[in-house]
């Protein structure tokens, strides 16, 4: 699926505590917003994915394609990928 519009991408990071260990960990996500008329109402997709083991497996290409076709997309990242390239 190609993209029909430009896309603005925002990486969002935060910290969370791991239950039972009190260890703090960085988590991240991606907000993709199509470059369309800001007064236009847009549908929103929450993109979830299964377990990944390498940054190259992150679903960013699909997220950008959806946003490039008029959807605001919020995508969570695996906490273990938050500080790695592509995570």
The model's pTM is 0.72
Q: What CA–CA distance (Å, rounded) separates 77 from 50?
A: 10
pLDDT at 65 over 60: yes
Q: Are 64 and 3 in contact (CB under 8 A)?
A: yes
Which pLDDT does position 86 carry in this prediction? 46
pLDDT, one tens digit per residue, over 29-52 is: 889 999 999 899 999 999 887 766
Render pLDDT for 7-36 as a digit per residue (tens, 0 to 9). 999 999 988 888 888 888 888 888 999 999
For residue 48, with 0-12 CB atoms within 10 Å meaning exposed, 13-18 middle and 19 or more buried, which class applies? exposed
Token pair, residue 16, equals 């969370």
Q: How far apart are CA 13 and CA 26, in angstroms?
A: 7
């Amino acid at each position: 699926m190609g993209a029909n519009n430009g896309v603005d991408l925002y990486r969002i990071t935060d910290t969370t505590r791991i239950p039972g260990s009190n260890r703090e960990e960085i988590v991240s996500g991606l907000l993709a917003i199509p470059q369309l008329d800001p007064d236009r109402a847009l549908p929103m997709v929450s993109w979830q994915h299964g377990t990944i083991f390498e940054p190259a497996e992150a679903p960013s290409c699909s997220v950008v394609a959806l946003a490039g076709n008029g959807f605001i997309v919020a995508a969570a990242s695996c906490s273990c990928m938050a500080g790695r390239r592509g995570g």
